Structures are given as structure tokens and as C-alpha cells.
Amino acid sequence: MKRFMAFVKKEFLHILRDYRTLIIMFGLPVAQILIFGFVVRTDIHNAGIAILDLSKDEVTRSLTDKLASSDFFRITANLDSYNDIDAILKKGKTKEVIVFEDNFSAKMIHQGSAMVSIIADGSEPNVANLVTNYTRSIISSFSASLAKGQSGTSGLITTEVRMFFNPRLESQFMFVPGVITLILILICALMTSVTITREKEFGTMEVLLVSPLKPWQIIIGKVAPYFFLSIVNVTVILLMAWSVFRMPVAGSIALLFGECMLYILMALSLGILISTVAKDMQSAIFISFIGLMLPSLLLSGFIYPIENMPKIYDYVSMIMPPRWFVTIIRSVMVKGVGLAYVWKETLIMAAMTVFFIVLSAKRFKERL
């Protein structure tokens, strides 16, 4: 045991001595969470739109003003004919063109209905959907306000909606936990797999293996410092979420830390497993970064909810540890639930951790 402790201490000193890596290790997650917390959002401001007004009358002008004065849109051009639409959309700065038919207000008054066509650039489906919806709702409310003068009440049933957990509908509540999930797994898996393959690449693993330390002691000794550093990292990140993004931890902080530790442990054991497969650092980095980045980003529900994916992805994403942690951390941080609501996810993560450890122990032995 004493030998083991000495080894852990040596590993600690190794890491602490390399102040450049240390700065990067603490600085990067903090900087990334800061940037992404502000940058990753899905609501739209100032999207470029163009107007093709074939009528140019009172009504179309005031509707155009209404669109321009909204926070969502910025008018990039006034077009003269249908032929201009393709050209302006191809430039890419304009996301949709709104076409008012000719004699707009006359048709509205005499025939009871005039037509607006929205032509959106479908090459960005998400933006196309959002701008179309915004435009529709602005025009509808404009139309309703015109009609109000003529007809009486608009209906009987009233509705009241209450937005739970996030009354101001901030996208950060969705994305900050996601960013934490993504960055933690990448950093932990990268660090562990690299630190072990490094010994292999330089041949120093042989030296360690002939020492009286047992193989598992070597591995744990190498990984333990990263476990502590990661916990410090989590603490800093959570403090930042609270102070910068005004995201208090709604649930129990002890539970949140417990879950984070489990997740870190899982990510570290995944890193160990990767290091048993990879021969050198390049391969280890390739798997733990390029292999993990996109799947963690896309199949975890971080940005794209899994419910909206084709059914089969409900099962495919089950093997992605971040999926479970995103659910846990959102539930605990934002909804404030206790273990009773997330025990299933916790259990799955624990099982994954055990699985990774057992598998890497087996592989490790086989090779020796």
C-alpha cells in the first residue's frame, strides 16, 4: 500500500510539474463552457429576409414594417420580380423571401382574402422552419388585429400556460448541462488513454510492469490524479454555471456531485479501455476524440432530443453514456429531482463503468 501511495504521489507530481498542461486542463473547459453557454442557442435574431412586394400599398407596407421592426428579422433587400428570388437566396445571406401578391389590399377588402407566399431557403432546414414559423405568427397576429375591428369576440375558451423549470425559456438551461457532459467525457477519456499509451509508446510501461507494483495498481495510480483534477474541474464549472449563467442547482448538490463522480469514473474507465486497444498516443487520441466527439454530441440529446429521432435511435443511443448523464444532470440541476427519479440512469451508468473496468482488466491480462 505504501508503495502504491508513493506511486500515486509520483504521478501527481508529474502532472503538477507540467504547468502548461495543467493550465490547459483547467483553462480549456472553463473557456469552452463560457463560450458555448453564450453561443449555443437555437432562437433566432436578425435573420436576413427579402421582400417582394408586387402591390406596394398601405397594408403591405405596414406589414413589412411590422416584420422589419421585429427582433427576429432584418430586411436585406426589396426585390422587383420573381426572377430575383433565386439569385438572392443563392447568395446565402437571405433566409427567406416574402411575396405579397399584386393588388393586395384590394383583394383583401373585396374578395376577403389576399395571399402572402413565404419562400424559405430549405438548404438549412432548421433555420427555414424557424423563420417560416416566426413569419407566420407575425402575419397571423397582424391579420387578427386587422380583423378585430370588424368582428367581435375571438372565442370562449381561454388558456393559460405555465412554463415549468425554465419560466423565461432560456436555451442555456438546455445547453449548459449538455456542454458539461460533452466536455467531461472527452477530457477524461482523452487524458487517461493518452497517459497510459504514452508509457507504452516510450517503452516505460515495461519498466513499471517489472516493478513490484501490480498492474492494476499501476493503472489506478495513473488514473487517480485525473479523477481528483476532474472533480476540481466540475466544481469550477458548476460555480460558473451558477455565477455566469444564473443556473442554480435546483436539486441536491451532494447528489449532483455524486453523479458527476460516477460519470467521471465511467469516462476514466472508458479511457483505460481505449488504452488497451490503442498501441500509441495517436491511435488513442483518434479513438477517444474523433471516435467519441460526434456520437456524444449527436446521440446524447445534448442538442437534438432523442424523442425526435427515428425509433431505432432510441436503442442505438442507449450505448452512449452521455445520453444517461445528460438526463441525470438536467433533472438534478434544472428540475431539482432526487435520486428517486434518476436511479435507473444512475444504475445504467454504474453498470457501464463496471463493464469497462472488467473488460479492460481482461484485455490487460491477456496481453501480458
Site for another protein in 163-182 (CB under 8 A): 163-167, 169-171, 173-174
Q: Residue ranges of the alpha helices (H) in 18-93?
A: 19-39, 58-69, 83-91
Q: Give min distance, CB of 127 to another protein, in A.
A: 5
Q: Which of 304, 339, 359, 363 binds another protein (CB under 8 A)?
A: 304
Chain length of the chain: 368
Nearest to 120 by CA among 141, 134, 102, 105: 134
Tell me: does residue 273 bind another protein (CB under 8 A): no
Question: Count of CB atoms within 10 A of residue 199's CB?
Answer: 17
How many residues line the site for another protein (CB under 8 A)?
121
Shorter beta-carbon distance to another protein: residue 2 or 162:
162
Of the pair 1, 111, the CB lying nearest another protein is at 111
Question: Which of 1, 210, 290, 368 contacts another protein by CB under 8 A?
Answer: 290
Residue 206 neighbours by CB distance under 10 Å: 11
CA distance 171 to 117: 30
Torsion of CA 349, 299, 285, 220, to 10 degrees: 0
Q: Find, among 177, 181, 237, 172, the residue nearest to 38 by Cα.
A: 172
Part of the chain binding another protein (CB under 8 A), chosen from 206-214, 230-238, 257-265, 283-291: 283-291
Closer to another protein by CB, 122 or 243: give it.
122
Alpha-carbon torsion (144, 146, 151, 153), positive or negative: positive
Beta strands at 73-79 and 96-100: parallel, antiparallel or unpaired? unpaired
Cα first-last separation, the chain: 23
Contact flag: residue 157 with another protein (CB under 8 A): yes
Nearer to another protein, 104 or 353 (CB): 104
Could you say which of 122, 209, 228, 350 contacts another protein (CB under 8 A)?
122
Regarding 264 and contact with another protein (CB under 8 A), the answer is: no
Out of 121, 176, 192, 272, the residue judged to bind another protein by CB under 8 A: 121
Near another protein by CB under 8 A: residue from 61, 335, 355, 363: 335
349: Cβ contacts below 8 Å, ≥ 6 apart: 262, 263, 266, 321, 324, 325, 328
The stretch among 153-161, 229-237, 254-262, 264-272 that binds another protein (CB under 8 A) is: 153-161
**Member of 77, 297, 339, 359 binding another protein (CB under 8 A):** 297
Q: How far apart are CA 154 and CA 132, in angstroms?
A: 24
If the CB atoms of residues 234 and 329 are measured against another protein, the closer one turns out to be 329
DSSP code of residue 18: -
Residue 125, CA distances (Å) to 52, 121, 131 in order: 22, 8, 10
**Using rule CB under 8 A, residue 298 touches another protein:** yes
- Taking the complex as a whole, the smallest distance from the CB of residue 354 to another protein amounts, in Å, to 26
Query: Which 204-263 residues touch another protein, going by CB under 8 A?
Result: none
Q: Across the chain, which distance is largest between two alpha carbons, in Å?
A: 96
Residue 77: phi and psi, rounded to 5, are: -165, 155
Is the distance from CB of 108 to CB of 59 less than 8 angstroms? yes
Select from 147-155, 211-219, 263-271, 360-368 the region that touches another protein (CB under 8 A).
147-155
Q: Which grid cell is 231? A: 472533480
71 binds another protein (CB under 8 A): no
Among 62, 117, 204, 235, the residue binding another protein under the rule CB under 8 A is 117
Cβ of residue 158: shortest distance to another protein, in angstroms?
A: 5
Q: Which of residues 6-65 bind another protein (CB under 8 A)?
A: 18, 20-21, 24-25, 28, 31-32, 35-36, 38-47
Choose one: 50-58, 137-145, 232-240, 260-268; the region binding another protein (CB under 8 A).
137-145
Shortest distance (Å) from residue 21 CB to another protein: 6
241 vs 281 by CB, closer to another protein: 281
42 within 8 A of 104, measured Cβ to Cβ = no
